[in-house]
Amino acid sequence: MSAKVRTPEEIAARVKALESIMIEKGIMTTAAIDRLVEIYENEVGPQLGASVVAKAWSDPEFKKRLVANATDACRELGIGGLQGEDMVVVENTDTVHNVITCTLCSCYPWPVLGLPPNWYKGPEFRSRIVREPRKVLREDFGFDVPDSVEVRVWDSSSEMRYWVLPQRPAGTEGLDEKALAALVTRDSMIGVGPVAAP
């Protein structure tokens, strides 16, 4: 995307400045900020979605339940909450690759994917991915989907939040769920990147 990439140091400095201003103005307390950090590090985020994907890859019965009703299947694992009330999982296969967007704003399943990336919220991605998904995947993400694979774009909304069940990579047959989860990225669950090879 065309947005300037910031270094981790620049991001950390901005976060610290915002945190200081919010505390100084009485908008937030240090305890509230610590709790928010804890939530996004441990209770919501792509690591939780990755654990769901790994379970689906390892347990065919769970996978069926996940594809049939993602919200209920995630709840079985203690995953859910705000922005995750009505989730739908779409499965990548040898013939179909799925990509998620929200053309109206930035609706997104926070409990399984964490905070949406900046590019997901940008109008350029939201409009272009619908019109020219292969080109966006290739040019903006370096992800080339073969012409033989159909690309489907799913439009999330406040009523329905989609996310992708990526294909399990070859060569992972002997891996346990923890090792499988380590291969899954947020981008692979949005559909803009592949799962890492082991």
Whether residue 107 lies in the annotated active site: yes
Whether residue 102 lies in the annotated active site: yes
3-state secondary structure the chain: CCCCCCCHHHHHHHHHHHHHHHHHCCCCCHHHHHHHHHHHHHHCCHHHHHHHHHHHHHCHHHHHHHHHCHHHHHHHCCCCCCCCCCEEEEECCCCEEEEEECCCCCCCCHHHHCCCCHHHHCHHHHHHHHHCHHHHHHHHHCCCCCCCCEEEEEECCCCCEEEEECCCCCCCCCCCHHHHHCCCCHHHHHCCCCCCCC
Q: Which residue out of 20, 58, 74, 106 is catalytically annotated?
A: 106
Whether residue 51 lies in the annotated active site: no
Distance CA 97, CA 166 (A): 8
Is 74 labelled a binding residue?
A: no
Q: Which residue out of 105, 127, 157, 158 is catalytically annotated?
A: 105
Is 107 labelled a binding residue?
A: yes
Q: Which residue out of 51, 74, 107, 156 is catalytically annotated?
A: 107
Whether residue 105 lies in the annotated active site: yes
Residue among 114, 137, 113, 115 at smallest CA distance from 125: 137
Q: Which residue out of 20, 51, 58, 102 is catalytically annotated?
A: 102
Is 106 labelled a binding residue?
A: yes
| Active-site annotation, residues | 102, 105-107
Point out the annotated binding site for Fe(3+): 102, 105-107
Point out the annotated binding site: 102, 105-107
